[in-house]
Amino acid sequence: MSTLKGKVALITGGNSGIGYSAAKKLKEEGATVIITGRSQERVSLASKELGVKGIVADVSDLSAISTAVNQIENEFERIDILFVNAGVFIPMPVGQNSEEGVNTLIDINFKGAVFTIEKFLPILKDGGSIINLSSVNAYTGMPNTAVYGATKAALNAYTRAAATELAPRKIRINVVNPGPIATPIFSKTGMSEEQLKGMGDMMQNRIPLKRYGKPEEIAEMVAFLASDKALFITGSEFNVDGGLNINPVFAI
Ligand X SMILES: NC(=O)c1ccc[n+]([C@@H]2O[C@H](COP(=O)([O-])OP(=O)(O)OC[C@H]3O[C@@H](n4cnc5c(N)ncnc54)[C@H](OP(=O)(O)O)[C@@H]3O)[C@@H](O)[C@H]2O)c1
Residues that bind ligand X (CB under 6 A): 12-13, 15-19, 36-39, 42, 58-60, 85-89, 108, 112, 133, 135, 178, 180-181, 183-185, 188
Shortest Cβ 197–ligand X spacing (Å): 15
Shortest Cβ 193–ligand X spacing (Å): 17
Phi, psi (deg, nearest 5) at residue 8 = -110, 125
* 20, 148, 158, 212: the active-site residue: 148
Shortest Cβ 160–ligand X spacing (Å): 18
Shortest Cβ 74–ligand X spacing (Å): 20
CB contact set of 79 (below 8 Å; sequence gap of 6+): 8, 9, 10, 34, 72, 120, 123, 124, 125, 128
Shortest Cβ 150–ligand X spacing (Å): 13
Q: What helix, strand, coil percent values describe the chain, rounded to 5?
A: 50, 15, 35
Q: Of 167 and 196, which CB lies nearer to ligand X in the complex structure?
A: 196
Spatial distance between the Cα atoms of 107 and 40, rounded to a whole number of angstroms: 20
Closest alpha carbon to 185 in 170, 175, 167, 199: 199
Q: Of 125 and 153, which CB lies nearer to ligand X in the complex structure?
A: 153
Q: Of 15 and 47, which CB lies nearer to ligand X in the complex structure?
A: 15
The alpha carbon dihedral of 68, 72, 214, 242 has a sign of: positive
CB atoms near residue 230 (< 10 Å) = 18
Q: Are 219 and 18 in contact (CB under 8 A)?
A: yes
Q: Of 42 and 125, which CB lies nearer to ligand X in the complex structure?
A: 42
Q: Of 39 and 164, which CB lies nearer to ligand X in the complex structure?
A: 39
Active site residue 158: no
Alpha helix stretches (DSSP H) within the chain: 17-28, 40-50, 62-76, 99-105, 113-120, 146-166, 193-206, 215-226
Catalytic residue list: 148
